[in-house]
Amino acid sequence: MRIVIGEGSCGIAAGAHKVYEAIEKLGIKPDVTGCIGMCFLEPIVDIYGENGELVRRLVRVTAGDAEKIVTAVKNGELSLLDSITISADDSAFLEKQTRIALRNCGVIDPTDIDAYISRGGYSALGKVLKMTPEQVIDEIKISGLAGRGGAGFPTWFKWNAARQSVSDTKYLICNADEGDPGAFMDRAVIESDPHNLIEGMLIGAYAIGAKEAVVYVRAEYPLAIVRLEEAIRQAEEKGYLGENILGSGFSCHMRIKAGAGAFVCGEETALIESLEGKRGMPRLKPPFPAQRGYNDEPSNINNVETFANVAWIINNGGEAFAAMGTENSKGTKVFALTGKIRRGGLVEVPMGMTIRDIIYDIGGGIRGDRECKAVQLGGPSGGCIPSDKFDTLIDYKELAATGAIMGSGGMVVMDDTTCMVGMAKFFLDFTAKESCGKCVHCRIGTKRLLEILDRITKGEGKDGDIELLEELCVAVKDGALCGLGQTAPNPVLSTIRYFRDEYEAHINEKRCPTCECADLVTYYIEAEKCKGCTLCSKKCPVSAISGDVKQPHIIDMDKCIKCGQCKSVCRFDAVFVR
């Protein structure tokens, strides 16, 4: 039997490498894989049988479990591992997915090119090199693959535009500058299946006639960069990268550019500026990158997930990909499922599945059995969709009709304790700070929006603030230069649209319905329930709680900073917020 440990960033953060070292010390050297997407169960250890089949999946493993695991494997007594074996309910997380972009994630060793080749890796490249570039583009057109970075623009159209541009020098660029809060799809693909990205990019480079490919990846993804560097080196050694690839006459070199983490560099022209060594600020379009992009040469830019689908499409045919999804949205989509969800992690589902299916069938519903209030789709550029619209299909047009966007795939689930005004403020704070400042509407407009939201959450809202927010949002959307400013108002507009009553409560009643806005709440201790254990007074950072042992305590609101420590540590449910 073979022991395999998931060592993506999430697994390592949860202690996977400590598990690896503990098992290795006991005489068995485990194999390594990437993130399978079940982040809520990390660290994960898989045990494979002699025939290569998965016989046990162990979850939430600690270094202390190492001896038990080694004993069970050596003696063939897997029943010893029942207490840390995945449950049937949690197994449903993967069983209800359709994995194309993530097909190898958590399955193969990302540091071993032969592991990728053993699962059909680079066969699509070999097939493409016997086709004409036009035939490749036609296959992508048949598939209906749209850009997975947010805009949903037809991939074939961008490739064809770059193909038709006349120049001896063209560039293919991968946008791996994943900046949405709560999104980690691109990181997981690069860490867990880097050769799939490389193969997809090589096919794209062949299609448009590019001899140089660049991966623009966030510097905050060190493990992804290390594994991609190693994968590029291995691909060069095997003849899949470099000069005269597989004897075809086609040559392409690939390199990595580590970006500094500016959210605006997710916009393709700002990315190009950064790639050229300039400050990341968007350019006016036209000309589009397909005509004049990197170094003023024709360039094509797609994101990681888009490229991760390409090899599968070539091997299985565009029609097979187009058979999944809806009329407007083909194939599958990867989401980072986070927030108040039981099973958080990466999910890949066919287009056309409902939001409800993802949250309840795959995600297992809301933690603590609380009521689900909304889901934020599309990150800071997206919108909040209320629970009564969870039957909305995962489809570009359907989601746009709700005021949200597909985006790159961030899906933040909120329960009934979430303040929607505070949520809008959180995302506006992010986009205001990330604005490059080039255009007035984004630079100034987002700050004015944030100032109004800040006043409202502090109980200083005024009549007309909601209408002023709506007016400013429209002005920013219409006047901003790039997608950052054009979509920044979405969280505000969608929360006003669906949760206007919460705005009105903040403004008219100076009350936060969910008791999340600190300036609008008061903490107090109910004397009948307080046992005088003194735990709350010991934990209070500003000594605002007083009282004798075994006697009811009181909170001095003049000192209270409303941190919530007293409520979180009280064992008798005696601390209340109003």
pLDDT at site 181 = 81
pLDDT at site 204 = 98
Query: Closest Cα to residue 445, out of 423, 478, 406?
Result: 478
pLDDT at site 121 = 97
pLDDT at site 407 = 81
Q: In whole angstroms, how large is the CA radius of gyration of the chain?
A: 26
pLDDT at site 137 = 98
* Residue 58 contacts residue 46 (beta carbons within 8 Å): yes
pLDDT at site 182 = 79
pLDDT at site 556 = 93
User: Are β-strands 31-33 and 2-6 bridged in parallel, bridged antiparallel, or unpaired?
Assistant: parallel
The token pair at 308 is: 């991760």
pLDDT at site 152 = 82
Candidates 3.40.50.1220, 3.20.10.10, 1.10.260.40, 1.20.1440.230; CATH matching 420-508: 1.20.1440.230
What are the residue ranges spanned by the domains of the chain?
2-86, 113-322, 332-415, 420-508, 522-577
Query: Closest Cα to residue 177, out of 149, 212, 196?
Result: 149
pLDDT at site 150 = 73
**What CATH number is given for 332-415 in this structure?**
3.10.20.600
**What CATH number is given for 522-577 in this structure?**
3.30.70.20
CA atoms within 13 A on the CB side of 223: 20
3-state secondary structure of 185: helix
pLDDT at site 378 = 86
Beta strands per DSSP E along 250-403: 253-259, 299-303, 332-339, 345-350, 372-377, 383-386
CA separation for the pair 121, 106 (Å, rounded): 15
Q: Give the sign of the dihedral formed by CA 186, CA 191, CA 413, CA 489.
A: negative
Backbone angles phi, psi at 157, to 5 degrees: -65, -45
- Class of the 2-86 domain? alpha beta
Rounded mean pLDDT for each run of 10 residues along the chain, 578 residues in total? 95 97 96 96 95 94 96 93 95 93 96 97 97 98 90 92 96 92 90 98 98 95 97 97 96 95 89 94 93 96 96 98 94 95 96 95 93 92 93 93 87 95 95 93 96 96 96 95 92 96 96 91 92 94 94 93 91 91
Question: Looking at domain 113-322, what is its CATH homologous superfamily?
Answer: NADH-ubiquinone oxidoreductase 51kDa subunit (3.40.50.11540)
CA separation for the pair 504, 49 (Å, rounded): 61
pLDDT at site 406 = 87
